[in-house]
Structure 1
């Protein structure tokens, strides 16, 4: 894929996070920033990545363990890398689902999908992706400065 097509794909937060190269470049960009929100965004990115890896697991016990681990690291009250709820108590809904032993493998795989959408919205609202995309396109010669 050409650099121009790659940049076009990364125009949206979702496009960036769903492309492995885009996600890595966005993380590199965030690591260079010194803003107070940097840690929060890096936590969002780590959560998003772990959820995507979680979806690839096919063993029910491993899925359950992965879901519990992600929940404990990012979603429980006072989690080390807490991802805030946006306007609803989705974290408590996820906790309730995890306590339900009858969840199907597919339900376990997609248990964090709503929170991943929240993360995309938070990154978009915070504006760091806009800064990333501007950095991609700021060289007047059309040469990508990040990629």
Structure 2
């Protein structure tokens, strides 16, 4: 019978904190909305070009390269090393746009101002998928 007072105290505390079934559902719905917006930003495709505008890369917000366009000028005017560097630059610019969009989305849904400058992700290490998966896992646990 000693569990009854503890349960009553917990119920009063939950009421005081306004953590009722309805508010928990509302919080879960809000979190699902945030996750949907972040997922949308990750699945969107962003475009980046090299400094000369002769190489264009399309990459998802998750960093996956979807398409690479080499203009005739790039093929004609750039040697193999310069062409590779142009591709890396274009990928970096596409991923930068993706990072900026994701940062803006997170700032918008969190109500916080977006940082003025989002640093360019390092192409070899940029992978937002683990963070997104951790967010999804936390949302599933909250349900």
State the TM bucket, normalised to the shorter chain: 0.3 to 0.5
Higher alpha-carbon Rg? 2
Higher helix share: 1
